[in-house]
A and B are shown apart, each in its own frame.
Chain A
């Protein structure tokens, strides 16, 4: 039940973030300072998430050679190809390969 309520809460918040200016504030401008800050939401939050997902329940970072190798190769492939499918395949491929070797 908690899970469902959490999904509903995020659903409502997401709809509002997409709709607030269309529904209610069409004549209001976002202040420039906020627009500048909003560009950095995605890179800052997503990279924080990557780290957060690698932290175990005791607060220790569970990251080894396999993860780092996968990030390096996956990051390079993403930069070169701009293709999510290739990034996923090579990143996971390197992760599995290195994990099997060590």
Chain B
């Protein structure tokens, strides 16, 4: 087998198990799209236009709950601001890549892709590129398919199941699994508390106030810890 094919196989084999945790997100996104009143085709287009589960869930849930578009867009972008860290970490690796790859690469840079790619930072440029695109295309195609399945199952799920609550459970799981030090716990609790206190603000602006204060207090707690 040529080295290229073995690298492609490696990329696929590494990506498939990492996709499993994304399956419930894909399913719930499908159901939320159907519930939200956003047209299914438009809702699904977020899978290839945004290609990021947490931001898609945030945007569609908020649009469906009657939030102003500007507030929903801002919230979804804030959710995805963590990608700036990935971009900065991957930038040196991508300097050895051709221009087309530097343009295409960021589109695939989801959480799981970053976790795999950063481990391959020392590969030669061609090997890295082959691996990166193989894994990225696995995540991408699986995401397109599973979100379509979610949308098709959406109308079958009775409204009385209140499956939109699943979004909250999934986000709680993301928070809990991401907390590796107490300032992150502080950021989460303050974010929730301040959002609760500013619930009366129009256009769900309380969400952004809560998020901002949470980030601020988390940063301060981190400084105090050092």
Cβ contacts B43-61/A at 8 Å (1 or 0 each): 1011001111011001101
Question: How many of chain A's residues touch chain B, expressed as a range?
Answer: 35 or more
Interface SS of chain B: helix
Q: In this complex, what residue of A is CB-closest to B86?
A: A18
Is the CB–CB distance between A44 and B24 below 8 Å? no
Q: Does B8 contact A (CB under 8 A)?
A: no
Known: A21-B91, A49-B207. A36 touches B169 (CB 8 A): no
Please give, as numbers and ranges, the residues of chain A lying within 8 Å of B46 by CB-CB distance: 7, 10-11
Is the CB–CB distance between B78 and A45 below 8 Å? yes
B21, B55, B189: the one contacting A84 at CB < 8 Å is: B21
Cβ contacts A15-35/B at 8 Å (1 or 0 each): 101111111011001100101
Is the CB–CB distance between B211 and A45 below 8 Å? yes
Known: A14-B77, A60-B199. A40 touches B192 (CB 8 A): no
A50 to B204 alpha-carbon distance, docked (Å): 12
Is the CB–CB distance between B172 and A10 below 8 Å? no
Known: A13-B77, A30-B84, A44-B191. A78 touches B173 (CB 8 A): yes
Residues on B facing A (Cβ under 8 Å): 20-21, 23-25, 28, 38-39, 42-43, 45-46, 49-52, 54-55, 58-59, 61-63, 65-66, 69, 72-73, 75-88, 90-92, 94-95, 102-103, 105-107, 109, 161-179, 183-185, 187-192, 194-196, 199-201, 204, 206-208, 210-216, 218-219, 222-223
Residues on A facing B (Cβ under 8 Å): 2-11, 13-15, 17-23, 25-26, 29-30, 33, 35-55, 57, 59-61, 67, 70-71, 74-75, 78-79, 82-85, 87-88, 91-92, 95-96, 99
Can you spell out 24 A-B residue pairs with CB atoms less than 8 angstroms apart?
Answer: A6-B73, A7-B49, A8-B49, A10-B55, A17-B87, A18-B87, A19-B107, A19-B109, A26-B95, A29-B88, A38-B85, A39-B184, A41-B81, A44-B188, A45-B211, A46-B174, A48-B208, A48-B211, A49-B61, A52-B207, A53-B65, A57-B65, A87-B169, A87-B176
